[in-house]
Structure 1
Amino acid sequence: MARVALLSNPRSTGNRAHLPRVRSFCARHSDVFHYEVESVDQVAEALRIIARVKPKVLVINGGDGTVQTALTELYCGGHFDGAPPPVAVLPNGKTNLIALDLGAGDDPIATLERVIELARSDSLADHVVARELISLSGGDHEERPVLGMFLGGAGLANSILFCRNKVYPLGLPNGLSHVLTAIAVLITLLLGIRAAFLPPRARPVTVSVMKGGAIEGRYALLIVTTLERLLLNTDAKLPGEKRGALQLMLVEQSPVALVRAIIAGVLGKLGKSVVAGVHLGRGDEIRIEGDRSSVILDGEIFQAGHGRPIVLTQTAPVPFLKLAA
């Protein structure tokens, strides 16, 4: 039985640099079962084969789309007999939010070494944590949902798409690309400049939290996540609420609101006191409605329309491997 199964997508951006090292590492470790796919369409078959070797840990090595597809198949596909193995994610995507939330470092090889160390030890169960996933659908219970852990919408989605379509093609390092995107966003927000080489203005959206009413407006940030913390070092958990509910953060599209949110986040006060222009909440169901308003769930784009809301619910807990002590 393989202690660790590694699912890799060679076509992800990060693997262009790291995959040769990953292959060499796996060749030296006989207890690692390494399976490579050429596209996300092959992930379902990959998991069917991986299930046969009954690994103690499943590691995903690919971009955001690979991670999202693997999580969806892991939860909906029924490939494993009983509970699936805990999941670890290598720091390989453009944003790495899931990997960072689970305690992965910057180096994929160091992360793999830590996974193998835990898989060989008797303390593996102590590092397994349960996390719910975001289930995205159009409200039709017959359709298969798409699963992920971080959703960005409104101005944030526009910024992500701007970075993906306008900045990443320049071939710059990820960190510099993100800085340039942030500068472009601030220019648009602070100066009100509209141009083809800048991110577009966010469209109006209506966000409804089950049993919590609806909020309508234009937002610089719309975030829904099941990660432990939102952006800006924020925890939207209110006293008495369970950890698993979907976390929501909305920041109104105004320079003052965004600056207030950033300052409160840096000072660790966001979520602990009321900040004008910032809306926080949690719920078991969140609906997003708007005219051609885009959201991005772990790298995949979805669009709400009139009469076609995006409905977010939470799944039952899924096991993940927390690498940090």
Structure 2
Amino acid sequence: MARVRVALLSNPKSTGNVAQLPRVRAYCAEHPDIFHYEVEAVDQIGEALRTIARVKPAVLVINGGDGTVQAALTELYNGGHFGDNPPPVAVLPNGKTNLIALDLGAHGNVLQSLERLVELARGDLTPHLVARELIALRHGAMGGKPVIGMFLGGAGLADTMLYCRHKIYPLGLPNGVSHVLAALALMVRQLFRLKLSFLPPAPSNLSVSVRRDGKLSGKFALLLVTTLEKLLLTDDIGGKSSGRLKLIAVEQRPFLLLRAVTASLLGKLGRTQMAGVHLEGADEISIEGHASDVILDGETFRAEIGQPIRLSTAAPLSFVRLAA
């Protein structure tokens, strides 16, 4: 029997798998060194990883959207299925946003990325491994175990992500078109202060505490916390400090978000100070607000007054990077 080099964890309900999964299944059937496990729901991921741990793969490949990746990382962190030596993780380009896959150099065709990972797993993976810090999210209603992820959006950004999910995705448009429409709707509401049902809602008051660096309070058009290297706006946060959460907060002011995005496109964001734009590196962050939603890799959590969402860094995990 061939040694299992790759364990593939697939979520058939992820966007890209609707068309790609039959080809992925056929490819796996032809390669005995791939162990393919499919889950229909997030609560099956624990059992999936318990089973995968028995075959001791060289690499764990996740075939799903950012929400599937987040659920798998959370189970890896809390479940202890692999003891102290979890396998490196690879992420196929799938789902609606693919932020984690893009950060690791996976883009384009799912099957081609899988083929490349199988090729790498048959040799020495070391040159292709990168350590990534993870975000541990804790909330009063969740108990002691954190949810693990890599990208959190809050304030106006979370409102726009939810607007896109509930108002634009149902139109059946391509993902790229949907994201552009959501961004345009955000800009229209931001620039003209319109309160219309077909636009994203105005952000509510939010308090963000950054340990050792004080507190930010007010309304924010954008709040972003991540450990990803390829940020949406800039890679110059907190002096690029290792092992730290990277925070971007843009206050709700006329034209400020547009100026911040323009500065990012010109490569100037973070290089000069811009009033109302906050770039911080932190070990711990607390977010508190009145029924204010945040989204961690696709999963929504709500910050309340007296019930803040607390973010900290989790132990780093090895990932397989497909591009230099």
- TM-score by length of structure 1 reads 0.96
Structure 2 counterparts to residues 24-63 of structure 1, below 5 A: 24-63=26-65
| Aligned equivalents of 1:84, 1:134: Cα separation in 2 | 17
| Aligned equivalents of 1:230, 1:290: Cα separation in 2 | 25
Alpha carbons 1:65, 1:299 under 8 Å: kept: yes
Report how many residues are paired.
Answer: 322
Equivalent residue for 2:119, pick from 89, 104, 117: 117
1:264 matched residue in structure 2:
263
2:312 matched residue in structure 1:
313
Amino acid paired to 1:177:
S
| Aligned equivalents of 1:113, 1:20: Cα separation in 2 | 15
**1:186 and 2:187 equivalent?**
yes
Alpha carbons 1:250, 1:279 under 8 Å: kept: yes
* C-alpha deviation, 1:218, in angstroms: 0.8
| Aligned equivalents of 1:237, 1:118: Cα separation in 2 | 34
2:216 matched residue in structure 1:
215
Percent identity (aligned) = 62
| Aligned equivalents of 2:29, 2:274: Cα separation in 1 | 53
Amino acid paired to 2:304:
G
1:86 matched residue in structure 2:
88
| Aligned equivalents of 1:24, 1:182: Cα separation in 2 | 38
The alignment's C-alpha RMSD in Å is 1.4
Amino acid paired to 2:281:
R
Alpha carbons 2:234, 2:270 under 8 Å: kept: no
1:247 matched residue in structure 2:
246
* C-alpha deviation, 1:151, in angstroms: 0.0
Deviates more, 1:194-203 or 1:226-235: 226-235
Alpha carbons 1:260, 1:275 under 8 Å: kept: no
Amino acid paired to 1:319:
S
Alpha carbons 2:187, 2:258 under 8 Å: kept: no
Amino acid paired to 2:97:
T
**1:196 and 2:197 equivalent?**
yes
| Aligned equivalents of 1:269, 1:46: Cα separation in 2 | 45
Alpha carbons 2:39, 2:45 under 8 Å: kept: yes
| Aligned equivalents of 2:143, 2:159: Cα separation in 1 | 30
Alpha carbons 2:229, 2:235 under 8 Å: kept: no
* C-alpha deviation, 1:139, in angstroms: 5.8
* C-alpha deviation, 1:140, in angstroms: 8.3
Alpha carbons 2:4, 2:55 under 8 Å: kept: yes
Alignment CA distance shift 1:48-1:301 (3 Å): same
Alpha carbons 2:169, 2:178 under 8 Å: kept: yes
2:177 matched residue in structure 1:
176
- TM-score by length of structure 2 reads 0.96
* C-alpha deviation, 1:264, in angstroms: 1.3
Q: Indicate the SS of the match to 1:316.
A: strand
| Aligned equivalents of 1:172, 1:88: Cα separation in 2 | 28
Structure 2 counterparts to residues 94-113 of structure 1, below 5 A: 94-113=96-115
| Aligned equivalents of 2:308, 2:148: Cα separation in 1 | 16
Alpha carbons 2:66, 2:99 under 8 Å: kept: no
* C-alpha deviation, 1:255, in angstroms: 3.5
Gaps of 5+ in 2: none
Amino acid paired to 2:137:
L
Could you list the per-position Cα deviations for residues 261-305 of structure 1 after superposition, in whole angstroms to 9, with x for gaps in the alignment?
112111111122212221000111000011001100000000110
* C-alpha deviation, 1:195, in angstroms: 1.2
* C-alpha deviation, 1:237, in angstroms: 3.2
Q: Indicate the SS of the match to 1:92.
A: coil
**1:276 and 2:279 equivalent?**
no
| Aligned equivalents of 2:47, 2:40: Cα separation in 1 | 12
Alpha carbons 1:285, 1:313 under 8 Å: kept: yes
Alpha carbons 1:139, 1:309 under 8 Å: kept: yes
Q: Indicate the SS of the match to 1:269.
A: coil
| Aligned equivalents of 2:144, 2:307: Cα separation in 1 | 14
Amino acid paired to 1:214:
K
Amino acid paired to 1:291:
H
1:138 matched residue in structure 2:
139
Could you list the per-position Cα deviations for residues 115-171 of structure 1 after superposition, in whole angstroms to 9, with x for gaps in the alignment?
11111122x111111111100012689521101000000000000000000000111
Q: Indicate the SS of the match to 2:233.
A: helix
| Aligned equivalents of 1:212, 1:237: Cα separation in 2 | 11
Amino acid paired to 2:160:
S
Q: Indicate the SS of the match to 2:53.
A: helix
Alpha carbons 1:234, 1:265 under 8 Å: kept: no
Gaps of 5+ in 1: none
